[in-house]
Homo-oligomer: A and B are copies of this chain.
Amino acid sequence: MRLASIEGLGGLTIGRLAREVDISKSGVFAHFRSKERLQQETVEAARRVFEREVLEPGLAAPEGVARVASLCEAYLSYIERGVFPGGCFFAHLLGEFDARTGPIHDEVAALQRGWVGLLEELITTAQERGELDPEVDSGQLAFELYAPLELANFLTTLYRDPATLERGREAVRASLAGAMAPEGGSSRAGPASADS
């Protein structure tokens, strides 16, 4: 995972991995029985890390807008902590396989849909609780929250400077602030109370 997060899945070679962990090529090869399986299992392992390091802490916040903000912050923190030395493993995957065809492309697409879908779902819940403006398009807001996370990851990794993460934090804050429900009360608002 560490190797692939820097060099990409294509750079994760059986020989290279063998050299890295200092055993023979055959020793590595025997564990995964093809390069494709090595790639698949690496992606799967990274998925579990992402779950533990981002989804689990991010979803621990109380339901509603707090949970949306918490998930975004969990992602930024995961970049900041350097969980993978090459930045977000899946952002790397996205760049490497977005334009190709094959099972890995499809897997990446499914993972991306899941991530955006989760954001959208949390936003809808926050709208149903009256915390976020029900007029805003939840898919659009999910996109606008995801975008600064992704860019913050790339620029932080590229510049080797975590200062860009603050840009991401501020962008998330601004997008959420702009989507807050118009009335101040925290209890459930009536469905037809919005003007224009």
B144 touches A148 (CB 8 A): yes
Whether A140 sits at the interface, judged by CB under 8 Å, is yes
B109 touches A159 (CB 8 A): yes
Q: Which of A166-181 contact B (CB under 8 A)?
A: 167-168, 170-171, 174, 178
Q: For residue A112, which residue of chain B has the nearest CB?
A: B158
Whether A96 sits at the interface, judged by CB under 8 Å, is yes
Contact residues on A (Cβ < 8 Å of other chain), bracket: 35 or more
Option from B7, B152, B168, B178 in Cβ contact (under 8 Å) with A100: B7
Whether A92 sits at the interface, judged by CB under 8 Å, is yes
A154 touches B109 (CB 8 A): no
Known: A140-B167, A151-B143. A99 touches B112 (CB 8 A): no
Q: For residue A158, which residue of chain B has the nearest CB?
A: B98
**Which of A17-25, A40-48, A83-91 lines the interface with chain B?**
A83-91
A8–B151 alpha-carbon span in the complex (Å): 19
- What 3 pairs between A and B have smallest CB-CB spacing? A95-B95, A86-B99, A147-B147
